[in-house]
Amino acid sequence: MIQKISERTARRIVPLILAACGVLLMPSCNDDIVLDEVDETAFIASGETFGYVRDATTARQEIPVTVTGSTNVHVFFGLTKATGTDVNAGIGVNTDLVQTYNEAHNTSYAAFPAAQVTIADNGNVSVAKWQMASEPVAITLTKGALEEGVYVLPVTVKNGAGVSISSTLNVLYYLVAVSDAPATPPSTDKPGGVKTLCYVEVGDASANLLNVGAYVLENSEIPFFDIAVVFAANIKYDLASGEVRLIYNESVKHILQNRDVYIKPLQDKGIKVILGVVGNWDFAGVANLSGDVLRNYAMQCKLAMDIYGLDGIDFDDEWSTYSQNTSQTAYSEFMASSWYPAWAPSAVKMSRLIIEMRRLLGPDKIITVFEYNFGRQIPADVDGVHMVDIIDYSMQAIYGSWVASSYIGMPNARYSPLATWINNMNPTASTLRTRATTIRSTYGFMFFYDLRNDDKTAYLNNASEPLYGERVKIVEPLRPHW
């Protein structure tokens, strides 16, 4: 067990301390995201000049990209020190490194074919004297006849005249999600326009995400549920590395790694599939990240959206201990140290995570908020951003109860005043029918939780009939866990 906070961990926390002092390291809406700067300490100490390759938009060495026809990425050749002469180099593809990547990450991705990669100017780049970076060079990735799936494309520096090449920063791994040209999915729009969202506890032995798509309206056969939430991935502080990570339990991992089995069939019906994010019983949470730590975590979430073809993300501020002590000595010492105040949670920090996610995801992905803990304290405006403009939907969080107005000011058209626990049939059937009638006339969104593999048509009819004038039916067998 780690008993002391490492120097490396301390270095990574410095941005958070600056944030606590009012120096928040957040980009503007037009800035490129930078997750880490190149650590030049070893290079400076050696007295040598090192060259490295870097993506033009991020300092990460693993970058997601989606290809449906052809797509461009941009890289540049950088130096750790300026020199008095021009430095020429070559950028190329080394598919032999795919095995290295797979062994390091316990994956089995195939290589993106080098024959379907075109590098402008044959990959020749130059850093002018007294400069530290070349102009970006475009790399074009073409789908061709490739089957849908995720491939790895290692991009490296082939040579650098007059400088040493960094052994640790000599390769970028593009995680290339290849998909067919997207067909327009069928619409799930229903009479009255009320949208429905359902959390599925995929770790429960009697739950299967596919069951969301089994319920349709009896006559029109439009899916009853519009949005399915894979509940849930976690946010966790890694003591060993000093980083906050997006992690998955085995059930969530199984769903994501088998997207063609569990996610794509729902999307083919027009149902959106988004990833829930919740705490993991330590002091990291969706409401206490800031600076580079926040931006790094947001990029991990963006990476998940891209690789697994998800339609968005749901933020739920639960199961994070924040200021509570834990049984692990290292955590306790950390939280008692002078570093800890930088981790104090707030609704503003949660808002900034949402702002960063919207910046990364663009306008077409879904962001939802469970109005609980700091999720019900999100201010109207943060850093000049009107929060309800970048959140798609929110829902009140106490099952069976009714909260007529959103705590965070969401308009009724995008807020669910009722939290319906399907498995526990809470609220009662009669109350559900009454509340659904009000939602049809006054609101535009309705939230459900905990769909399992037993027939719940009789209960759901109490929502479906008032909302849409139709009962629901099951059109395919309800699935067990896997």
Name the β-bridge partners of 473. Answer: 216
- Per residue, the 3-state secondary structure of the chain, as one string, reads CCCCCCHHHHHHHHHHHHHHCCCCCCCCCCCCCCCCCCCCHHHHHHCCCEEEEEECCCCCCEEEEEECCEEEEEEEEEECCCCCCCEEEEEEECCCHHHHHHHHHCCCCEECCHHHEEEHHHHEEEECCCCCECCCEEEEEECCCCCCEEEEEEEEEEEECCCEECCCCCEEEEEEEECCCCCCCCCCCCCCCCEEEEEEECCCCCCCHHHHHHEEECCCCCECCCEEEEEEEEEEEECCCCEEEEECCHHHHHHHHCHHHHCHHHHHCCCEEEEEEEECCCCCCCCCCCHHHHHHHHHHHHHHHHHCCCCEEEEECCCCCCCCCCCCHHHHHHHHCCCHHHHCCCHHHHHHHHHHHHHHHCCCCEEEEEECHHHHCCCCEECCEEHHHCCCEEEECCECCECCCCCCCCCHHHEECEEEECCCCECCHHHHHHHHHHHHHHCCEEEEECCCCCCCHHHHHHHHHHHHCCCEEECCCCCCCC
Tell me the CB-side half-sphere exposure of residue 315, using CA atoms within 13 A. 32
Annotation marks residue 333 as catalytic: no
**289 vs 345: CA distance, rounded Å:** 8
Residues 148, 318, 371, 470: which is the catalytic one?
318
The catalytic site residues sit at 318
